[in-house]
């Protein structure tokens, strides 16, 4: 039994129409149907955060959202945020601080960090830790990641 | 893992939701935020024939004042709950609870109604609903009924909802003048389900503790109203003897099971420590926030 649903949504500014299997989650839709491999499928049950993407401006777990439910939605992924330059400073700080080791968690970390800096432009280290607590880094490079986010927050506030 | 195949339909009104549900057969399930359901489908813990998406049902949206209560639509997300002005002004316990619920990306989709209907005994909102003496408004295609939160949770992942009922809204009574409240929990990672937690409120008159209400989560098969501990606190002042008496009473009424987080006695210990911290925090004798 394979039951398909027609959806039309916007992905990184481009309108996309597809028929998807009802059980297809957003990350598989992005990776397998659209070829956008930047969002990673990790645990596939909402624990690890590697699949974090934006839906209608808010970060979500891509593995806990059905593509079928997103008719009319606006989805943004690491590819889109990279192309627009919106998070260039975060990406550069991650490189400068060596905050990406294997890199598997990095797209989700960047999306979550961007979300934090949008809602809380002057976070403390504790607030950075708290906001990123739902994103696992199994290389355990957390200090470097928090350093990178803190650096960008200070730079954006002219305190670099 | 991937979920087993299922059909998907979306409702935009309650009438449509009930019609689709009745046509979906006994194996059809409602999908709201999906933050617990989709994870359980990925594990193939259940294999529904169809999901009926109620996340865009307009009657389930919104937060409004309803007399002496704030009515929260079942479809309101945790993130919406946390930033709502009525909630911040009148339901400080809920505003304090929201940051403890999972992580930002999950709070953006998970719903208040979904959390109550799922009835995880370690979740924050069921305990808050019982602590605040909220009323769950259940709807079927034909009728609506009001279920006090204390009677809504009937066991592990079990509620008083009938198979043809959904949660339409929850009414939380507005905090009274002089009332204090707090929520504390112990978790391995910030945002994880609690190993032990407490949602509490009390009225402070002079220095006396009036009408205390302490509801523990993560230490039973449902939110546990700590009747004996509450009796030990009622009318007393926040003194070391009061805290000790309440903690001793609590130890006789909690019956947690052993699991990977510890033995029953370890978990009772966590609960006793949280009780003391909650009492002191509400009395303004702040102790360090629970780890």
Residue A16 lies in a domain: yes
List C-alpha distances in Å: B48 to A1, B36, B43, B234. Answer: 12, 14, 13, 48
Task: Tell me which of A20, A50, A77 is where a domain ends.
Answer: A77
User: Is pLDDT of B18 > 60?
Assistant: yes
Alpha-carbon distance of A29 to A4, in angstroms, equals 13
User: SS3 for chain A, per residue?
Assistant: CCCEEEEEEEECCEEEEEEEECCCEHHHHHHHHCCCCCCCCCCCCCCCCCCEEEECCEEEEHHHCEHHHHCCCEEECHHHHHHHCCCHHHHHHHHHCCCCCCCCCHHHHHHHHHHHHHHCCCCCHHHHHHHCCCCCCCCCCHHHHHHHHHHHHHHHCCCC
Which run of H or of E encompasses B22? helix B14-23
Q: Which chain A residues touch B4 with a CB distance below 8 Å?
A: 23
> In degrees rounded to 5, what are phi and psi of residue B135?
-120, 125
Could you tell me the pLDDT band of residue B286, with boundaries at 50, 70 and 90?
low
Q: Based on the domain organization, do A95 and A124 belong to the same domain?
A: yes
B62-173: what CATH class? alpha beta
Domain that holds residue A114: 87-156
Size of interface A-B (CB pairs under 8 A): 94
Strand order in the sheet with B196-205: B179-186, B196-205, B208-217, B224-225
What integer pLDDT is reported at residue B231 of this predicted model? Answer: 98
Is A99 in CB contact (< 8 Å) with chain B?
A: no
Model confidence at B261: pLDDT above 90 = no
Please report which confidence band the pLDDT of residue B158 belongs to, taking 50, 70 and 90 as the band edges.
very high
Residues A56 and A107 in one domain: no
B70-79 residue pLDDT tens: 999 999 999 9
pLDDT at A159: 66
At B174 the three-state DSSP class reads: coil
Q: How many domains does chain A have?
A: 2
- What is the per-residue pLDDT across B120-130, written as a single tens digit (0 to 9) for each? 999 999 999 99
Residues A53 and A23 in one domain: yes
- Tell me the percentage of chain B whose pLDDT exceeds 90: 91
CATH class for the region spanning B179-282: alpha beta
Check whether B290 has a pLDDT greater than 70: no
Tell me the CATH number at A129: 1.10.150.120
Which residue of chain B comes nearest to A65, CA vs CA?
B34
> Quick check: B5 and A3 CB within 8 A?
yes
CATH architecture of B7-53: 2-Layer Sandwich (3.30)
Per-residue pLDDT, averaged over B3-11, amounts to 96
Which of B51, B79, B104 to mutate: most A Cβ within 10 Å?
Answer: B104
Domain membership flag for residue A106: yes
What global pTM score does this model have?
0.96
- Is A12 in the same domain as A39? yes
Give the SS3 label for residue B204: strand
- In this complex, which of B3, B106, B190 lies closest to A61 when CB atoms are compared? B106
Say what the pLDDT of residue A1 is.
42
Domain-wise residue ranges, chain B: 7-53, 62-173, 179-282
Picking from A110-119, A150-159, B149-158, B243-252, which range would have the lowest pLDDT averaged per residue? A150-159
CATH number at residue A63: 3.10.20.30
Residues with Cβ < 8 Å from A106, sequence gap 6 or more? A94, A99, A100
Q: Region B140-149: what's the mean pLDDT? A: 98
Ranges under pLDDT 70 in chain A: 1-2, 159-160
- Pair of tokens at residue B24: 């979906």
Do A116 and A66 fall into the same domain?
Answer: no
**pLDDT of B187:** 94
Query: What pLDDT is recorded for position B288?
Result: 47
Mutate which of B25, B32, B37, B103 to test chain A, going by most A C-beta atoms within 10 A? B103
Is the confidence at residue B225, as pLDDT, over 80? Answer: yes
ipTM of the complex: 0.96
Residues in B touching A21 (Cβ below 8 Å): 5
Reply yes or no on whether the pLDDT at B291 is more than 90: no
Assigned domain for A82 exists: no
> Looking at the complex, does the CB of residue A74 fall below 8 Å from at least one CB of chain B?
no
The confidence score (pLDDT) of residue A140 equals 84
């Amino acid at each position: 039994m394979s039951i398909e649903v027609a959806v039309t949504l916007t992905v990184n500014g481009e309108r996309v129409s597809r028929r998807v299997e009802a059980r297809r989650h957003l990350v598989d839709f992005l990776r397998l149907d659209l070829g956008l491999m930047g969002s990673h499928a990790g645990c596939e049950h909402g624990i690890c955060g590697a699949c974090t993407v934006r839906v209608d401006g808010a970060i979500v777990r891509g593995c806990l959202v059905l593509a079928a439910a997103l008719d009319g939605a606006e989805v943004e992924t690491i590819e889109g945020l990279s192309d627009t330059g919106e998070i260039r400073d975060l990406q550069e700080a991650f490189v400068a601080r060596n905050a990406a080791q294997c890199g598997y968690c990095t797209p989700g970390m960047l999306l979550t960090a961007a979300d934090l800096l949008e809602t809380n432009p002057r976070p403390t280290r504790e607030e950075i830790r708290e906001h990123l607590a739902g994103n696992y880094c199994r290389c355990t490079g957390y200090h470097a990641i928090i350093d990178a986010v803190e650096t960008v927050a200070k730079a954006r506030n002219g305190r670099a | 893992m991937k979920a087993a195949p299922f059909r998907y339909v979306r409702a935009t009104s309650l009438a449509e939701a009930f019609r689709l549900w009745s046509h979906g057969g006994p194996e059809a399930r409602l999908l709201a935020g999906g933050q617990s359901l989709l994870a359980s489908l990925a594990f193939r813990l259940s294999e529904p024939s169809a999901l009926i998406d109620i996340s865009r049902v307009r009657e389930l949206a919104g937060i409004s004042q309803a007399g002496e209560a704030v009515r929260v639509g079942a479809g309101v997300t945790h993130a919406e709950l946390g930033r709502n002005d009525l909630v911040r002004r009148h339901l400080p316990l809920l505003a304090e609870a929201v940051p403890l619920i999972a992580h930002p990306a999950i709070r953006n989709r998970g719903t208040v109604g979904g959390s109550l209907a799922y009835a995880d005994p370690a979740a924050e909102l069921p305990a808050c609903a019982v602590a605040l003496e909220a009323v769950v408004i259940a709807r079927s295609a034909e009728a609506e009924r009001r279920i006090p939160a204390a009677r809504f949770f009937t066991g592990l992942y079990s509620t008083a909802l009938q198979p043809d009922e959904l949660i339409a809204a929850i009414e939380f009574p507005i905090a009274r003048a002089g009332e204090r409240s707090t929520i504390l929990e112990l978790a391995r990672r910030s945002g994880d389900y609690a190993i032990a937690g407490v949602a509490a409120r009390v009225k402070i008159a002079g220095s006396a503790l009036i009408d205390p209400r302490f509801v523990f989560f993560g230490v039973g098969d449902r939110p546990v109203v700590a009747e004996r501990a509450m009796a030990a606190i009622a009318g007393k002042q926040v003194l070391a003897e009061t805290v000790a008496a309440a903690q001793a009473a609590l130890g006789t009424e909690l019956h947690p099971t052993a699991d990977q987080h510890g033995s029953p006695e370890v978990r009772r210990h966590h609960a006793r420590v949280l009780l003391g911290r909650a009492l002191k925090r509400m009395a303004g004798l702040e102790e360090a926030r629970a780890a």
